[in-house]
Amino acid sequence: MTPSWVKEAIFYQIFPDRFHRGTGPLPNPVPASQGFEAWEALPTLRGFKGGNLWGVIEKLEYIQEMGFNTLYFCPVFASTANHRYHTSDYYQVDPILGGNEALKKLLEAAHARGMRVILDGVFNHCGRAHFAFQHLVENGAASPYRDWFYVYGFPLNAYSGKANFAAWWNNPELPKFNTNTPECREYLLGVAEYWLRQGIDGWRLDVPNEIDDDRFWQEFRSRVKAINPEAYIVGEIWDDASRWLQGDQFDAVMNYPLGRAILGFVGGDTLDKDLAAKSGLGRLETLGAMGCSHRLENLFSRYSWEIVTAQMNILTSHDTPRLVNLLRGDLERTRLALQMLYTLPGAPTVYYGDEIGLEGGHDPDNRRAMPWEKEHWKLPLQDAVRHMARLRAEHPLLHSGKYQRIYAQDGHLAFARVHGEAALLVTVNASPQPWKLRFPIHGLWSRGEHALDLLHGSRALCHRGYLEGETPLAPFSLTVWQVTE
């Protein structure tokens, strides 16, 4: 079983260095306070902005007001990189982020609001500053940690020359752990257990496919669930994840294929395919309504329904260009993509800033600092995200109902979220022309003569097996219909 709460989750992904600089008690060691890049300046590969977990605490009210009830953080542990995927100490929150005390207070503050917190677990590799790797660098073959890594020769070329040890994508800054070594394996599993005992609500697993060992992840799941049966385990798998979603490893994965389907449909000819192709999204395909629905139906039939409703549905992340850039600045299409995300089975996930139209190309540009001056916000976009979160919270069918295609032609898609005799109908106009609604609803509603548009208040007539709207659906817009007697 997947955690029950995930079905109602709306995730907000935060890149801690770029979210907000807050104030709080200084940890020991005292973090650096000088040399940060200007907040409003474009980010650089190595530069730090100085955002921290105290800053997140200060913005919890904003986050909750937007309807997000679960925080997913990029790594927070001590590291020499601004993105902190180069972990140097898995038991210490980075001092620049506020140290362990800041995470403790964040967990307390989030839980008091009924929110949950998911941390990023980077267990395939560490940074060169990690104690075990540094011990190996200093002592060579004499180090008792030599079997924690895959070493091809001594002395180690950790800082010059070609790496003579296994590293993520051959990057010498990221030595790969040898999880076949019992002590190394136990160390990593112990890290997972430790932070669950401190109160986190689950793990997002970085490149878990590169630990090519089902037994490792089976043991990971067993030990995580022994501490908290409701802990969420979600893997970063970009394509088919059947291997990991058999019920003995992960609860879910980051559902990039669903995001690709939405982008291909909503983006149309506007979609920047070249920009997407240079990221993990790959070259996106333009899709009509039927093509989009077929992709979605395939995804929903690929895994058990229990897993489908727990998937972390995602359009963009710290590993992709920003949503508004993929759609070439078209705010109507950007809004529509986000609205679709909220109406499909699985948990919507929004990368910080996408809800206000924050721009960004490839890494590191997609990791810009969050602007907190409202003159930089695209307020209609923000309003739409807030409204969709409220709609999803008020109508359980949007997180529990099965997907049923009703109508699909060109840029016009209608699908229902159905549970028993209850149903909501979603109509999507992904074309630049108004759509005069008239299509068969195939006995979707057995009772009632009218349907109410829950987003805009307009009405439609259910007559002789057809839905007929009073007013055309605007270009690049979405409505959610509920039958009325």
- Catalytic pick among 94, 120, 173, 206: 206
Q: Verify whether residue 236 is a known catalytic residue.
A: yes
Q: Verify whether residue 206 is a known catalytic residue.
A: yes
Residues 174 and 125: beta-carbon distance below 8 Å: yes
Q: Kindly report the CA angle at 225 between 221 and 228, in degrees rounded to 5?
A: 145
Using N-to-C axis directions, what is the helix angle for 331-343 and 256-267, rounded to 10°? Answer: 140
Return d(Cα 409, Cα 406) in angstroms, integer.
Answer: 10
How does DSSP assign 11-52, residue by residue? EEEE-GGGT-----PPPSSPPP-SSPPPTTSPP-SS------
Return d(Cα 197, Cα 45) in angstroms, integer.
Answer: 34
CA–CA distances in Å: residue 279 to residues 17, 258, 284, 410, 479: 22, 16, 11, 28, 31
List strand residue ranges (DSSP E) for 239-379, in order.
252-255, 312-314, 347-351
- Of 94, 56, 61, 60, nearest to 75 by C-alpha is 94
- Which of the 8 DSSP states describes residue 176? B
Residue 101 CB-half CA count within 13 A = 11
- Of 207, 172, 177, nearest to 189 by C-alpha is 177
- Catalytic pick among 236, 319, 355, 453: 236
Residues 205 and 235: beta-carbon distance below 8 Å: yes
Return d(Cα 143, Cα 251) in angstroms, integer.
Answer: 38
173: left (phi over 0), alpha (psi -120 to 50) or beta: alpha
User: Greatest CA span in the chain, whole angstroms?
Assistant: 82
Return the active site residues. Answer: 206, 236
